[in-house]
């Protein structure tokens, strides 16, 4: 398209800002963000440590060059270098209700600088059986609509280990309870453990993942970002769209990109004519409420420091909640914990926030497929981590490439990011 369009984008997470960055050299973009900051689920909290301020993640945290190739390319196009990436010496501990010591402590990954003691045994045997079956399902390309229970239940493992170990990690990742974990898409639950890049080195971005959102905004010449301005109403008028934000300002645009969670997008498109099928699809993504805190108190860590892992799972009351230990990454004992279902909250809380997390169920996979077929109709586009693969930084960037490619396939930044 040889003329400049006006593109309205709702949502200032990584997806919305990547769309803006891809289009905003040639096209006028206005981005409306409900919160006072951009970044969405990427929220980095500055912590002052021994004369230095480090960015500690409260929301999205882990990235991987191997699993997230487009995300990594975007980082390098924005000037991030290898020095900005810190490798996590990943390990996992799992403590079940009533246990004083963890049932499982896996070996610390490369780069660990504190002594650790592994605890393997039956839980570890169960995990290995699970991983073998997961690799087989990946190789057979089993449909993503098959639930996790169909992978786990036939394994020759006790019911207690299935529940408290095999369903525990997916339950924590997707913030659901142990019963609900059975209903997750099996392929989504195993996606990070199988395939050519199985068990990749996981990393964190030293300046914080939120910095990527600000960098995208700063590097987009024809972008106007309005924070504290939620998109409240979308109206069709004379072949264009009028977007009204929560400050009462209206914006006339040619194309609209909804880079907001699908339930929010559904409410916004519902008043428009001809959107019944779209609303049904957007309404079929399931979310769970959760809460995270950053704290200094090792309340949820194993009692013996030699059992401390980078991710520490506590299985309790039908839930599995994680406590991530940032010590091996930042050199100081800051912890990020899921706190939605804990009986006792930690002391020395630095900050906390509520999030809504997408559950990748077979229903969500079907909704992703149907949404792909409805993209772009009438100038309405949908970006965000929910549109493809497994709700990650990579799926947010992939969704942005997809949407920007429909709006302006020849935008020069498209080739730079995907070429």
Ligand X SMILES: Cc1cc2nc3c(=O)[nH]c(=O)nc-3n(C[C@H](O)[C@H](O)[C@H](O)COP(=O)(O)OP(=O)(O)OC[C@H]3O[C@@H](n4cnc5c(N)ncnc54)[C@H](O)[C@@H]3O)c2cc1C
DSSP secondary structure string, 193-221? Answer: GSSTTSSPPPEEETT-THHHHHHHHHT-T
Chain positions 111 to 150 lying near ligand X, rule: CB under 6 A, are: none
In whole angstroms, how far apart are CA 237 and each of 192, 234, 242, 246, 252?
45, 10, 7, 19, 9
Residue 171 interacts with ligand X (CB under 6 A)?
no
| Site stretch for ligand X (CB under 6 A), options 31-39, 275-283, 302-310, 361-369 | 31-39
Q: How far is the CB of 119 from ligand X (least distance, A)?
A: 25
Q: How far is the CB of 66 from ligand X (least distance, A)?
A: 13
Residues contacting 329, CB < 8 A, separation 6+: 86, 88, 204, 310
Site string for ligand X, 290-319 (x = CB under 6 A): --x---------------------------
Q: What residues does 352 pair with on adjacent strands?
A: 293
Q: How far is the CB of 9 from ligand X (least distance, A)?
A: 9
Q: How far is the CB of 392 from ligand X (least distance, A)?
A: 3
Rounded to the nearest 10 degrees, the angle between the axes of helix 393-407 and helix 14-23 is 30
Residue 391 interacts with ligand X (CB under 6 A)?
yes
Residue 13 interacts with ligand X (CB under 6 A)?
yes
- Residues 232-241: contacts with CB under 8 Å, at least 24 apart: 232/268, 233/268, 233/271, 234/268, 234/269, 234/271, 234/272, 235/271, 235/272, 236/272, 236/273, 240/6, 241/8, 241/379
The b/e string for 123-154 (b: 16+ C-beta within 10 A; e otherwise) is: bbebbebbeebbeebbeeebebeebbbebbee
How many other CB atoms are found less than 10 A from the CB of residue 409?
10
Chain positions 337 to 356 lying near ligand X, rule: CB under 6 A, are: 355
Q: Reduced to 3 states, what is the DSSP secondary structure of residue 158?
A: coil
Residue among 357, 380, 388, 417 that touches ligand X (CB under 6 A):
357
Chain positions 63 to 102 lying near ligand X, rule: CB under 6 A, are: none
Q: How far is the CB of 185 from ligand X (least distance, A)?
A: 16
| Site stretch for ligand X (CB under 6 A), options 13-21, 86-94, 187-195, 342-350 | 13-21
Q: How far is the CB of 86 from ligand X (least distance, A)?
A: 14
Residue among 6, 35, 73, 226 that touches ligand X (CB under 6 A):
35
DSSP for residue 387: G
Site string for ligand X, 241-280 (x = CB under 6 A): ------------------xx---x----------------
Residue 10 interacts with ligand X (CB under 6 A)?
yes
Q: How far is the CB of 259 from ligand X (least distance, A)?
A: 5
Q: Which is nearer to ligand X, 261 or 362 (CB)?
A: 261
Q: How far apart are CA 222 and CA 411, in angstroms?
A: 13
DSSP secondary structure string, 247-307? Answer: TS-EEEESEEEE-S-HHHHHHHHTTSTT-HHHHHHHTT-EEEEEEEEEES--TTS-SSGGG
| Site stretch for ligand X (CB under 6 A), options 39-47, 152-160, 298-306, 311-319 | 39-47
Residue among 215, 231, 278, 313 that touches ligand X (CB under 6 A):
231
Angle made by CA atoms 223, 227, 232, in degrees to the nearest 5: 100
Number of residues this chain uses to bind ligand X (CB under 6 A): 32
| Site stretch for ligand X (CB under 6 A), options 7-15, 133-141, 295-303, 322-330 | 7-15
Residue 33 interacts with ligand X (CB under 6 A)?
yes
Using CB under 6 A, list all residues that contact ligand X.
10-16, 32-35, 40-42, 59-62, 230-231, 259-260, 264, 292, 355, 357, 384-385, 391-393, 396
């Amino acid at each position: 398209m040889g003329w400049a369009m006006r593109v309205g984008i709702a949502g200032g997470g990584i997806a919305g800002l990547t769309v803006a960055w891809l289009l905003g050299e040639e096209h006028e973009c206005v981005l409306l963000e409900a919160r006072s900051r951009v970044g969405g689920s990427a929220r980095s909290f500055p912590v002052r440590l021994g004369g230095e301020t480090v960015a500690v993640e409260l929301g999205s945290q882990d990235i991987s060059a191997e699993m997230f190739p487009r995300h990594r390319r975007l980082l390098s196009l924005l000037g991030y270098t290898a020095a900005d990436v810190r490798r996590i010496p990943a390990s996992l501990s799992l403590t079940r209700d009533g246990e004083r010591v963890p049932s499982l402590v896996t070996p610390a990954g490369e780069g660990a600088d504190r002594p650790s003691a592994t605890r393997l045994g039956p839980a570890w045997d169960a995990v290995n059986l699970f991983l073998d079956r997961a690799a087989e399902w990946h190789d057979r390309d089993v449909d993503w609509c098959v639930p996790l229970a169909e992978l786990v239940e036939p394994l020759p493992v006790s019911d207690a280990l299935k529940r408290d170990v095999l369903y525990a990690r997916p339950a924590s990742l997707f913030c659901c309870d142990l019963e609900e974990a059975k209903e997750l898409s099996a392929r989504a639950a195993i996606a990070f453990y199988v395939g050519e890049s199985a068990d990749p080195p996981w990393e964190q971005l030293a300046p914080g993942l939120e910095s990527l959102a600000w960098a995208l905004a700063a590097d987009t010449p024809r972008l106007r970002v309005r924070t504290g301005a939620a998109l409240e109403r979308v109206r069709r008028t004379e072949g264009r769209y009028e977007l009204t934000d929560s400050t009462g300002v209206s914006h006339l645009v040619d194309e609209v990109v909804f880079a907001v969670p699908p339930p929010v997008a559904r409410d916004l498109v519902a008043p428009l004519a001809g959107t019944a099928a779209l609303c049904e699809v957007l309404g079929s993504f399931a979310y769970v409420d959760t809460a995270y805190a950053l704290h200094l108190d090792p309340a949820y860590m194993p009692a013996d420091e030699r059992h401390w892992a980078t991710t520490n799972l506590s299985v309790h009351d039908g839930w599995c909640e994680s406590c991530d230990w940032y010590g091996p990454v930042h050199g100081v004992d800051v912890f990020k914990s899921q706190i939605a279902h804990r009986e006792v909250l930690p002391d020395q809380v630095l900050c906390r926030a509520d999030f809504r997390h997408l559950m990748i169920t077979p229903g969500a996979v079907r909704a992703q497929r149907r949404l792909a077929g409805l993209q772009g109709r009438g100038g309405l586009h949908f970006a965000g981590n929910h549109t493809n693969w497994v709700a990650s930084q990579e799926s947010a960037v992939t969704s942005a490439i997809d949407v920007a490619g429909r709006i302006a396939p020849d935008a020069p930044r498209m080739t730079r990011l995907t070429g």
